[in-house]
Structure 1
Amino acid sequence: MKTNEVLENIKSRRSIRAYTARQVSKDDLLTILEAGAYAPNGMHLETWHFTAIRDAQKLEELNMHIKGAFAKSEDRHLQERGNSQTYCCYYHAPALVIVSNDPTQWWAAMDCACAIENMFLTAHSLGIGSCWINQLGTTCDDPEVRAYITSLGVPENHKVYGCVALGYADPAYPVKEKNLKTGTYHIV
């Protein structure tokens, strides 16, 4: 099969779930955010919003609010996470991008997914690890979580469709190899 720099970047990117404390530079973060903004989006309306957090205390507070919402859940697994002293939904990454959109646009989730993938690939090309974080998407309507993310700059009328954890991979934790599932695609 053919290959090039873009294809090799796509093939070598993996989700990182263990990070060093080294912060992502503002310049690299701006590059990653710009890449997200260049993603395809419905009718080119760009109804999304990206809220980037590099402040460790704000990230810890966000995690506590998410855990609070989990603790109130009917789901036993989420309750366990909510009551855990060690649970961290963003894997202690030094930076997190909240990707939100106007939920009245039927393509909002798809737009956000495209933007997140652009951010992942750009981060990887810069030597920065990333991981999709879902927990805020399931808790953003909890009153305490909503108030907190609004205070961070997430528009009040937006739903969170995903978050991007960003940081440098901790070398003590090996990254899994990717094995393609047989039969994933065929040509007619």
Structure 2
Amino acid sequence: MNQTLETILTRRSTRKFLCKPIPEEEMELIVQAALHAPSAKGLQTWQFTVVRNREKIQKLATAIREVLDRKGYNMYEPEALVIPSNLKESPYGREDDACAMENMFLAAHSLGIGSVWINQLQDVCDVPAIRQVLDELGIPADHVVYGMAALGYPDDVKADKARTGKVVYVD
């Protein structure tokens, strides 16, 4: 099996991270993978905000916890958070960001870095408590966040599990 397929087939979500910084050059590779994702019509209406300050990450997690009434929510305390945002008016922003997120997850896994999709913001970006934190992080007011990539070295072991879902081949 080639390395690309092995990376795709072995990636798992990480929900427990070590307190170990991700080297700058590896973060840059992960972000470059995002920038090289497909974008509908090549518009690239996205922005990628990389947050490496754990206090700022937890400030956002606290705002989410309070707005969504999610007791104990902490985004799994990642070492870094990449926040793809996209123009609210972009008809393909959600899909573009999803492609970028998958590229980041695969790039991270290929480097031994764990990841998990954080999806709580898509409907609450303009709630004042959330918007205030997003503004502080430099997320444009005319952008929406559909998902975020929480990244760090994994502190949990994921066993292989069978994948389910129906596959239909038509000749």
Structure 1 Cα separation of the partners of residues 28 and 46 of structure 2: 16
Q: CA RMSD in A?
A: 1.3
Same amino acid, percent of matched pairs: 40
Q: Which has the larger radius of gyration?
A: 1
Partner residue of 2:91? 106
Per-residue CA shift, 1:53-94, capped at 9, x if unaligned? 110110111111111211xxxxxxxx3x1xx2x321x20111
Structure 1 Cα separation of the partners of residues 160 and 168 of structure 2: 20
Per-residue CA shift, 1:138-169, capped at 9, x if unaligned? 32121111121111011110000100010000
> Aligned AA for 1:128?
I
Runs of 4+ in 1 over 4 A off after TM superposition: none
* Unaligned segments of structure 1, at least 5 residues: 71-78
- Counterpart check, 1:129 vs 2:114: yes
| 1:162 pairs with one of 106, 124, 147 | 147
| 1:146 pairs with one of 128, 131, 134 | 131
Give the SS at the match of 1:187: coil
> Aligned AA for 1:186?
Y
Structure 2 Cα separation of the partners of residues 69 and 117 of structure 1: 27
Aligned pairs (5 A) from 1:1-188: 3-70=1-68, 79=69, 81=70, 84=71, 86-88=72-74, 90-170=75-155, 173-181=156-164, 183-188=166-171
Say how many residue pairs are matched. 171
Give the stretch that moved more between structures: 116-125 or 137-146.
137-146
1:10 shift after superposition: 0.3
Give the SS at the match of 2:5: helix
Partner residue of 1:73? none
1:131 shift after superposition: 0.5
TM-score w.r.t. length of structure 1:
0.86
Give the SS at the match of 1:50: strand
TM-score w.r.t. length of structure 2:
0.94
* Unaligned segments of structure 2, at least 5 residues: none
Higher helix proportion (structure 1 or 2): 1
Give the SS at the match of 1:33: helix
Give the SS at the match of 2:26: helix
Give the SS at the match of 1:138: coil
Give the SS at the match of 2:117: strand
Give the stretch that moved more between structures: 177-186 or 40-49.
177-186
Structure 1 Cα separation of the partners of residues 117 and 22 of structure 2: 17
